[in-house]
Structure 1
């Protein structure tokens, strides 16, 4: 009896140990449990590193109604990585009706990235404006002031204020790509009023530079260098602001000769007067014009 009990205990320990290993495996690779098409797709994507096979399984998951929301978004991301962004756009447009209402907002975010990848600026602007309209109509975040977002497997809270500023920043950059700098400036200034940050400040500085408004651009960029804008402590952001200031200075007109010599207008006029006192005032016209004048006088006689 003791022997059989010992064996069963050992088997239990093996089962528990195996279960723990499986748990570690799923946590490590961020792969869901099961053997469904969606699980197989994630396994091909994250473990086997076979994106083409993952797309096949994602299609099977969508057609089979298996986690359609996640399958469509994940498939679009994999397609983008394979430079099949246009195909991903068509897939989202064709099958997003199968997804839940709660997932439409995150699907739009994927679509914006795809538009950006394909250089479809007008489509990007239109979608960003539509998302902003949903916010001020109270339709975003399901009417709440915050929502739970996920990035790199971690959950965090996003406020409606931060999301509005983020979308405005993206819209400003889209207008910049269309060289509509006046609209870009308006949008960036609105974004900075709502939730300022270093990156949008740099973009605003660049926008003003593109309009040849160098002094205004300098003031915006120097605020970043002086640490007056949230996020200014980030080394990459400060480096960008510094590079833009260098570019800005290269566009400014160079000093005049009088500026280089430290001369003022009164001094120059006095110098001219002194030179005139040394001899008769000579005509500033070229000799050829003097000859023409003489010839004209002769004709008049």
Structure 2
């Protein structure tokens, strides 16, 4: 219904109808509904033009549909994070990275993964920020935030096992420990004099 209303140039009504009936849809359909709503907002925001004029700190600049969509999704992801819904925030931030990659939003994605205990995935994304492979990585604030999150990540990671440090697999490690125990067993059984 919303798509048909959009085609009839009744975008505002389509958005209101969409919002009214969205709660009737299943959780599995919510991501698809997000895409339709974003499409409706794009049509509403730009009136069919590829850019619009925006203001920030008293300066005018042009914003593309892609940039505005990324901004709106970033705000949505942040709202989900504030509600501790890290899985949904992760989905939103991944969508943002596909539309318009950004180092700050990549840090937010890393935080979502960190909060879910997915340390390797979080480390990979934060590493990309620090290596400068994501647009916006040259911003000192994004780099500092990436470093802070990596430090937090290291605090959450489980400690290494002795076998990991020694570079042995579990079988070799157990055999080595047993060998050491057998060699040192006679020494262990002797009582030392008390002084």
State the number of aligned residues: 152
Q: Residue 139 of structure 1: SS of its match in structure 2?
A: helix
The residue correspondences of 1:115-194 to structure 2 (distance < 5 A) are: 132-135=38-41, 138-194=43-99
Counterpart check, 1:198 vs 2:87: no
Deviations along 1:172-204, whole A, 9 cap, x unmatched?
A: 010001111111011101111111111101000
For residues 184 and 73 of structure 2, the distance between their equivalents in structure 1, rounded to whole angstroms, comes to: 68
The aligned residue for residue 174 of structure 2 is 268
Q: Which runs of 5+ in 2 are unaligned?
A: 1-11, 13-33, 186-195
SS of equivalent to 2:68: helix
> Following superposition of structure 1 onto structure 2, how do residues 4-83 of structure 1 map, counting pairs within 5 Å?
none
Q: Distance in 2 between matches of 1:187 and 1:278?
A: 58
Q: Find the aligned partners of 1:173 and 1:242 in 2 and give their Cα distance.
A: 20
TM-score of the pair, normalised by structure 2: 0.68
How much does 1:262 deviate?
A: 5.3
**Among residues 222, 226, 230, which one is paired with 2:131 in the alignment?**
226
CA positional deviation for 1:140: 2.1
Instruction: Please give the alpha-carbon distance, in whole angstroms, between the structure 2 residues aligned to 1:275 and 1:146.
Output: 73
Task: Work out the CA distance in 2 between the residues paired with 1:239 and 1:278.
Answer: 50
Q: CA deviation at 1:266?
A: 2.1
Output the CA distance in 1 between the equivalents of 2:36 and 2:168.
58
The corresponding residue for 2:115 is 210
Q: Which is bigger in relative contact order (C-alpha 8 A, separation at least 6)? A: 2
Larger radius of gyration: 1
Note if contact 2:163-2:173 (Cα within 8 Å) is conserved in structure 1.
no
CA–CA distance in 1 between the matches of 2:37 and 2:58?
24
What residue in structure 2 maps to residue 251 of structure 1? 156
1: distance between equivalents of 2:41 and 2:141? Answer: 31
**3-state SS, counterpart of residue 47 of structure 2:** helix
- Normalised by the size of structure 1, how large is the TM-score? 0.46
Q: Secondary structure at the match of 2:159?
A: coil
For the aligned residues, what is the CA RMSD? 2.7
Output the CA distance in 1 between the equivalents of 2:102 and 2:180. 59
Show CA shifts across 1:220-269 (max 9, x none). 00001000011111111101000100100110000123444555432532
Indicate the SS of the match to 1:233.
coil
Report the CA distance shift for 1:267/1:256 in structure 2 as closer, same or farther (over 3 A).
closer
| 1-structure distance, mates of 2:65, 2:167 | 55
